[in-house]
Amino acid sequence: MSSADSGTEPQPAPAEPAGGAAAEPEAPPVDEVRQALLDSLKAELGDSILGAEIAGGDIWVRVDRGAWVDAARVAKTKLGMEQFCFLSGMDWLPNNDLSAEKVWDPEAEPTNGDGTGATRTYETGVAGGDTRFQVFARLFNPTTSVGITLKADLDEQDPRVGSWISVYRGADWHEREAWEMYGFTFDGHPDLRHIYLPAEFEGHPLRKDFPLLAREVKPWPGLVDKEPIPGEDEEEETPAEGGDGG
């Protein structure tokens, strides 16, 4: 899987014989089905497609925010993507470092988390991305068993995008969840309200700067030595004092 790459299918790597041991990399077979999908999409949406990738038997397409609903419509009508799978969001700020002990310091400058102290940047994923927030969704064609992942970048200060509810009725609950968890606003959704959390809940939990309180209250200890079983002697405690006088 290659990461951020705005382009079409991966180009064959140039031949670089290294000591004759490595064989010349073959061009990966062109995924014709998905290439055809991409071509139809390009024909309909044209410039709105900001990035695409076909890899590993799957296709990702990143569209312009304004064309989000159109992309869905095209997918449903022209590509036969009748089945709505899911719609969710992505926050590209980095996660906390898993292997280190960290204590939440609300005053500290947000850093990259890699120990270098660099301020927060983010890399985005497949098919690229320009902003912190992305909305992504998956559609599926049950007759041909081909699916597509659509992505769109959202503005960091005011993440809003059109609602898919006019195209796929099932997007209703998924958009409510995305609103609740990320704070995305979906224009045209009749009833954006909480779905999992109580009505009075403040904050958007799946954003990376919303702390997982359990971890902050008690940082993840990483690899610890086994705790002694309650009742057994704590052998690791004070060493024998006999003969050690001072």
Partner 1 sequence: MTTTGTDWRQAAYISGQAADARVNVELETEGMTLNIGPQHPATHGTLRIVCRLDGEQVIWADPACGYMHRGYEKLAEVRKYPQITTLVNRIDWLGSFANEVPFILAAEKLMDIEAPPRAQWIRTVLFEMARIANITLFLGDMAAQLGAVTPVFYAFRDREHALNLIESATGGRFHPNYDRIGGLKDDLPKGWIDECKAVMRRIRDFCDEMDDVLVGNEIFQTRTRGIGVIPRDVGLEYGLTGANIRASGVDWDIRRDEDSPLAWKDVDWKVWTHPDGDSFARYWVRLQETREATLIVDQLLDGLPAGPIMAKVPRIIKVPAGEAWVHTENPMGEMGYYIVSKGDIGPFRVKIKTPSFNNISITPWLLRGVYVPDVITILASLYFILGDIDR
Contacts with partner 1 by CB under 8 A lie at 1-3, 56-58, 60, 82-86, 88, 90-91, 94-96, 98-99, 123, 125-126, 136, 138, 142-143, 145, 147, 149, 168-170, 172-173, 181, 191, 193-199, 205-206, 208, 212, 215, 220
∠ CA 167-181-94, rounded to 5°? 115
Of 101 and 244, nearer to partner 1 (C-beta) is: 101
Of 43 and 187, nearer to partner 1 (C-beta) is: 187
Of 192 and 237, nearer to partner 1 (C-beta) is: 192
* Backbone torsions φ then ψ of 90, nearest 5 degrees: -140, 135
How far apart, in whole angstroms, are the C-alpha atoms of residue 141 and residue 84? 9
Residue 244 neighbours by CB under 8 Å, 6+ apart: none
Nearest approach in angstroms of CB 142 to partner 1 is: 4
Query: Tokens for 148?
Result: 């597509």
Of 8 and 220, nearer to partner 1 (C-beta) is: 220
Nearest approach in angstroms of CB 224 to partner 1 is: 14
Angle (deg, nearest 10), helices 68-77 and 32-45:
130
Nearest approach in angstroms of CB 212 to partner 1 is: 6
Class of residue 106 by CB neighbours under 10 A (exposed 0-12, middle 13-18, buried 19+):
exposed
How far apart, in whole angstroms, are the C-alpha atoms of residue 76 and residue 167? 8
Of 28 and 205, nearer to partner 1 (C-beta) is: 205
Query: Tokens for 61?
Result: 């397409």
Nearest approach in angstroms of CB 136 to partner 1 is: 8
Nearest approach in angstroms of CB 232 to partner 1 is: 25
Nearest approach in angstroms of CB 140 to partner 1 is: 8
Residue with tokens 């590993």: 56
Residues facing 152 on adjacent strands: 63, 135
Compute how many other C-beta atoms are within 10 angstroms of the C-beta atom of residue 91. 21
Of 184 and 243, nearer to partner 1 (C-beta) is: 184
